[in-house]
Chains A and B, each alone.
Chain A
């Protein structure tokens, strides 16, 4: 999991596969990073080719948590199968989603 600070935005790149194994590898670090940052975290999913329900749970739990602190998780770079999962689970209505990192940074910085 790569992360960097761009202006006041924390950018986190999620790995290729967010299955049970992939989620357990990043879950703790991801949660710690976004809650420590408190502000807006941009989650770049452009490398992510697979998400299952555990990954959705990780995103939603942390989104709710940072919202309480006045921050947000913002997503970008969803590949078509991932965007489809987000539509089917209506997760596309719970998050602000940008097509790519440039568009997201332009909107939030």
Chain B
């Protein structure tokens, strides 16, 4: 069964989403890798929505839905802000020279790297974006 939470798209909500994820982790037997990805997805994706999703001054929400069935963790993050497909984010600069290495741009990249699957959809009628992130247990 999916556990859901809806929060306003503002900085105070990150702590609420993290508390929700802590509680979810306790109830379900997630592997260490699944726990890490759950936190990382909330942190990076929700942060992006707060920063870039909605026009400043306008009220918006973030919905988070989590479920774990047969060892497969499914994290769904929804918002009604600007459409944003993480697949279209260019790969970051992974330059190995400290002087030339650009600070930042790693959030979505790390989620893509750690997840088994990422699917994005935008409903033009309702304006909802949904990003679904999948992480399987290694032994499942």
> Across the interface, which residues of A come within 8 angstroms of B109, CB to CB?
88-89
**Known: A50-B36, A50-B39, A90-B94. Is A85-B103 also a contact (CB below 8 A)?**
no
> Across the interface, which residues of A come within 8 angstroms of B101, CB to CB?
60, 94
Task: Please tell me the size bucket of the interface on B.
Answer: 20 to 34
CA–CA, A56 to B32, complex, Å? 20
> Across the interface, which residues of A come within 8 angstroms of B104, CB to CB?
53, 57
- Say whether B15 faces chain A, with CB atoms less than 8 Å apart: yes
Cross-chain contact B14 with A21 (CB below 8 angstroms): yes
Counting residue pairs across A and B whose Cβ atoms lie within 8 Å, the total is 61
- Say whether A52 faces chain B, with CB atoms less than 8 Å apart: yes
Cross-chain contact A64 with B98 (CB below 8 angstroms): yes
CA–CA, A46 to B75, complex, Å? 29
> Across the interface, which residues of A come within 8 angstroms of B72, CB to CB?
none
Residue in contact with B96 in the complex, picked from A19, A50, A81, A94, CB distance below 8 Å: A94
Cross-chain contact B110 with A93 (CB below 8 angstroms): no
Binding site for A on B (CB under 8 A): 11, 14-15, 18, 32-33, 36, 39-40, 43-44, 47, 92, 94-96, 98-99, 101, 103-107, 109-110, 113-114
